[in-house]
């Protein structure tokens, strides 16, 4: 059976399939209407007060539903009484929306979608990112024996709805090849394939999965997507794009996946690992997430300009990496689509605006201050051994110095009060 992640991807494909797949389902504002309004209507009736016309904000449910002298924009369940529907269906070019001179238009299917939405109640929804997910009940399926995982209920229910049958299970060579690529990014070896083909036990596939999850390659494969999101790079970017040392943070991410670190710790340690009580070296390394942005080493740059740019980069990355939101638009104005104001942006900005760094790092191509020494576990063991050897040698030198000083004093004392001491001083002069 395919890996659950592939099943989820298949489920999403089904959920957003075009055509008659959703014909019997109630339209959803976030899924079916919001994007349509933002693409065709927000130019004149959106969140931007400077370009808004008719004192109408279609993005604001309260404004859409408030009483008006010229008729209600939207009457839930009554499209024929809704000005919104009347204006998009009218043949009068002076009244039709979107207006012809806007360069925008609605297809016949899109108009019918809006009409149907209003007839179904015209319900608005909060931004999807702020709606808590609800666990769905398992749908009934035609062949319960085919189901091995709860996700399979949804896959098979959709196949039943479309009048389709599941494909037969892939042959064993294909199965081990798929799951090995999926979990490690590498093909299985000939020995691994042979062992799987020879294992006829009921849990043979499960044992392959367990072996792959225990492989160091698993963390390397799983880390790839997060490294992209976190804008990891081994070079500084900008004009010279010279190498820099960030691989210790990359290895921390890999190890986090390999030791199955919980998501709350994964997020906390990257955002503020150095602020945890008695923070370990590894937790401090985790905060390299906040230092993955480009650094400039070009002479003549305005230091404060680039320092602020680095902070903005952190805000933007935190937004889409942990919140699934595009904060960057709110740098200059209230966000046009996501519910983020400019004040929200700079409130978040303040959290990242306290790192003692410079926009110009002095031309250092490898490490930008502030920085810490970050030896690996093996290097730490070696450093500790070297430190012990060095301490022993330093102890021997100290003992030798102490002995030499004692002998010097003894010799000097033996000369005091005798002519030898005066003779020696005379000879020195």
Q: List beta partners, residue 235.
A: 243
Per-residue confidence (pLDDT) for residue 19, from 0 to 100: 40
| pLDDT range class, residue 13, cuts 50, 70, 90 | very low
Q: How many CB atoms lie within 10 A of CB 383?
A: 13
Kindly give, in sequence order, each residue whose CB lies less than 8 Å from that of residue 212, ignoring residues fewer than 6 positions away. Answer: 179, 180, 183, 184, 218
* Residue 361 near residue 294, CB atoms below 8 Å: no
Using only C-alpha atoms, the chain has a radius of gyration, in whole angstroms, of 34
- Check pLDDT > 50 for residue 6: no
What pLDDT score does 228 carry? 96
- Which segment of 138-147, 184-193, 266-275, 291-300 scores lowest on mean pLDDT? 291-300
The answer, yes or no, to whether residue 354 has pLDDT greater than 90, is: no
**DSSP per-residue codes, 223-253:** HHHHHHHTT--SB--TTT--B---HHHHHHH
The span from the CA of 51 to the CA of 45, in Å, is 8
In the predicted model, is pLDDT for residue 368 greater than 80?
Answer: no
Predicted confidence at residue 109, as pLDDT, reads: 95
pLDDT tens track for 266-325 = 999 999 999 999 999 999 999 999 999 998 888 888 989 999 999 999 999 999 899 888
Rounded distance between C-alpha atoms, residue 376 and residue 380, angstroms: 6
Give CA–CA dist 82/90, Å, rounded.
Answer: 12
- pLDDT-derived band at 411, boundaries 50, 70, 90: confident
Residues in contact with 320: Cβ distance below 8 Å, sequence separation at least 6, in sequence order? 229, 326, 327
Mean pLDDT of 226-240: 91
Residue with tokens 């690996």: 376
Once rounded to an integer, what is the mean pLDDT over residues 115-120?
96
Report pLDDT digits (tens) over 43-99.
Answer: 899 888 888 898 899 988 999 999 888 889 999 999 999 999 999 999 998 899 999
- Give the model's confidence band at 429: pLDDT under 50 very low, under 70 low, under 90 confident, else very high: low
Q: What would the pLDDT profile of 200-224 be if each residue is shown by its tens digit?
A: 999 999 999 999 999 999 999 999 9
d(CA 350, CA 358): 16
Q: What is the DSSP letter of 368?
A: P
pLDDT of 426 strictly over 90: no
Q: pTM (2 decimals)?
A: 0.74
User: Residue 168: pLDDT band by 50, 70, 90 thresholds?
Assistant: very high
Give residue 428's pLDDT: 56
Q: What is the mean pLDDT of the chain?
A: 88
């Amino acid at each position: 059976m395919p890996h659950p992640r592939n099943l989820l991807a298949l489920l999403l494909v089904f959920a957003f399939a075009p055509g008659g797949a959703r014909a019997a389902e109630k339209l959803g504002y976030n899924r079916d209407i919001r994007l349509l309004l933002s693409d065709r209507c927000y130019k004149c009736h959106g969140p931007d007060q400077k370009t808004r016309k008719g004192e109408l904000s279609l993005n604001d449910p309260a404004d859409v539903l408030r009483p008006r002298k010229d008729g209600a924009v939207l009457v839930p369940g009554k499209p024929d009484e809704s000005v919104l529907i009347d204006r998009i269906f009218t043949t009068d070019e002076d009244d039709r929306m979107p207006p012809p001179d806007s360069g925008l238009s609605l297809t016949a299917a899109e108009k019918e979608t809006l009409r149907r939405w209003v007839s179904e109640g015209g319900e608005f929804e909060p931004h999807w990112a702020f709606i808590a997910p609800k666990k769905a009940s398992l749908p009934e399926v035609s062949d319960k024996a085919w189901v091995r995982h709860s996700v399979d209920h949804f896959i098979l229910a959709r196949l039943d709805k479309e009048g389709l049958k599941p494909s037969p299970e892939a042959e064993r060579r294909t199965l081990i090849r798929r799951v090995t690529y999926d979990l490690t990014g590498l093909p299985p070896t000939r020995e691994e394939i042979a062992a799987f083909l020879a294992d006829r036990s009921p849990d043979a596939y499960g044992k392959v999965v367990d072996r792959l999850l225990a492989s160091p390659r698993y963390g390397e494969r799983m880390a790839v997507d997060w490294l992209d999101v976190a804008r990891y790079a081994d070079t500084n970017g900008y004009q010279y794009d010279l190498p820099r040392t960030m691989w210790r943070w990359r290895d921390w991410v890999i190890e986090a996946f390999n030791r199955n670190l919980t998501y709350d710790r994964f997020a906390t340690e990257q955002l503020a690992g150095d602020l945890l009580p008695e923070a370990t070296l590894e937790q401090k390394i985790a905060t390299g997430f906040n230092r993955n942005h480009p650094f400039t080493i070009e002479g003549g740059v305005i230091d404060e300009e680039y320092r602020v740019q680095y902070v903005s980069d952190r805000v933007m990355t935190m937004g889409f990496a942990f919140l699934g939101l595009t904060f960057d638009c709110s740098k200059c104005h209230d966000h046009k689509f996501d519910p983020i104001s400019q004040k929200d942006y700079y409130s978040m900005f303040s959290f990242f605006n306290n790192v003692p760094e410079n926009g110009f790092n002095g031309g250092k191509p490898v490490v930008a201050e502030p920085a810490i020494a970050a030896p690996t576990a093996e290097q730490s063991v070696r450093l500790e051994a070297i430190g012990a050897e060095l301490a022993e040698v330093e102890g021997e030198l100290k003992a030798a110095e102490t002995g030499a000083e004692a002998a010097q004093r003894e010799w000097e004392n033996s000369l005091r009060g005798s002519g030898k001491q005066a003779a020696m001083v005379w000879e020195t002069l």
